[in-house]
């Protein structure tokens, strides 16, 4: 089978998935959406000069590095067009589009009855300032970044107007603010593949105690989560319809688990470094099985 790995050439997770698909006998090629084009009136999607409709299926590992909401939506639309031409895309573009946007993701979580931190989204500086004052301490997040990029903790004593104007100048979108959840220096990542729990890891804070991301100096440690955490993660994954995802959970001071995020693409590194679990061949096997169900003769 000819499989497109939608990701970034040379990136560790993209190349790992590509290698895993090849090890399962597939002819896998990396497709960078930043190098794709839609040609009308056909319409067809090309990666440079290769028509993506020539592939038997596509597995999406990354959309590419962009905090630009229009850029993200344009790339998701490329995947929608590919799907509409009859190519199976995992995870489905409409589901990816929900998860990749923090605003839409949090709305979906709340709509599904899953517990989330108190959140405010606004373009108004005065409204954003009032939210920080109401929360006491807040985390300002861009709508379209991952791994903690662009996040900032805000307190009422700070020059909030300057912080919000800087966020706006950097083109990071509306002000997405969540009440800061006091935690013991770690949060939990729970991996779900094809509706099943496959492992979990702690992200333990490093230099910045409030932020647990690896880019901020955090590290991975193996976790043995309670059944409640696993159940929340599976519910979130099933609600979004994602074939592979990581669900980030945090415990508030009262001991209640809250869902912070649902990853549109899932991550390999935390499972491998924290748990010794290589999810790439597991995802490759699931993807190829699904593609064969759609095109059994291939």
Of the candidates 87, 268, 298, which has an alpha carbon nearest to the alpha carbon of residue 193? 268
Q: Which residues contact 149 (CB under 8 A, 6 or more apart)?
A: 67, 142, 215
Backbone φ and ψ for 197, nearest 5 degrees, come out as -70, 130
Give me the residue label for tokens 């440079």: 48
Return the CATH number of 119-179, one of 3.40.50.1370, 3.40.50.80, 3.30.1490.20, 3.40.640.10.
3.30.1490.20
Residues 49-61: tens digit of each pLDDT = 999 999 999 999 9
Site of tokens 């009032």 = 130
Q: What is the pLDDT of residues 216-257, one digit of tens each?
A: 788 999 999 999 999 999 999 999 999 999 999 999 999 999
Report the CATH number of the 183-263 domain.
3.30.470.20
Task: Name residues whose C-beta falls within 8 Å of residue 71's C-beta, 6 or more positions apart in sequence.
Answer: 64
Q: What's the CATH class of domain 2-98+282-294? A: alpha beta
DSSP state of 178: E
For 258-293, write each residue's pLDDT tens digit: 999 999 999 999 999 999 999 999 999 999 999 999
Q: What are the structural domain ranges in the chain?
A: 2-98+282-294, 119-179, 183-263
Q: For residue 113, give the nearest of 214, 259, 241, 8 by alpha carbon.
A: 259
Confidence of residue 297 (pLDDT cuts 50, 70, 90): very low
Q: What is the mean pLDDT of residues 15-22?
A: 99
pTM above 0.75, yes or no: yes
């Amino acid at each position: 089978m000819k499989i497109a790995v939608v990701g970034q050439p040379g990136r560790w997770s993209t190349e790992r998935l590509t290698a895993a698909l090849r090890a399962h006998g597939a002819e896998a090629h990396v497709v960078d959406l930043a190098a794709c084009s839609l040609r009308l009136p056909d319409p067809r999607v090309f990666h440079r000069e290769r028509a993506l409709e020539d592939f038997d299926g596509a597995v999406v590992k990354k959309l590419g590095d962009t905090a630009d909401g229009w850029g993200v939506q344009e790339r998701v639309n490329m995947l929608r067009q590919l799907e509409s031409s009859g190519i199976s895309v995992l995870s489905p573009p409409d589901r990816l589009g929900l998860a990749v946007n923090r605003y839409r993701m949090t709305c979906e979580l709340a709509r599904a009855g899953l517990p989330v931190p108190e959140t405010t989204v606004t373009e108004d500086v005065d409204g954003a300032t009032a939210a920080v004052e109401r929360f006491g301490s807040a985390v300002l997040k861009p709508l379209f970044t991952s791994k903690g990029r662009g996040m900032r903790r805000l307190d009422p004593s700070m020059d909030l107007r300057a912080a919000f104007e800087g966020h706006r100048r950097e083109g990071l979108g509306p002000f997405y603010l969540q009440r800061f959840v006091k935690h013991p220096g770690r949060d939990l990542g729970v991996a779900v593949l094809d509706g099943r729990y496959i492992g979990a890891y702690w992200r333990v804070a490093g230099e910045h105690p409030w932020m647990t991301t690896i880019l901020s100096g955090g590290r991975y440690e193996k976790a043995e989560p309670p059944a409640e955490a696993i159940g929340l993660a599976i519910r979130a994954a099933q609600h979004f319809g994602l074939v592979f995802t990581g669900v980030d959970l945090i415990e508030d001071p009262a001991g209640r688990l809250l869902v912070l995020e649902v990853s549109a693409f899932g991550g390999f590194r935390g499972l491998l470094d924290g748990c010794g679990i290589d999810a790439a061949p597991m995802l490759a096997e699931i993807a190829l099985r699904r593609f064969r169900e759609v095109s059994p003769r291939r």
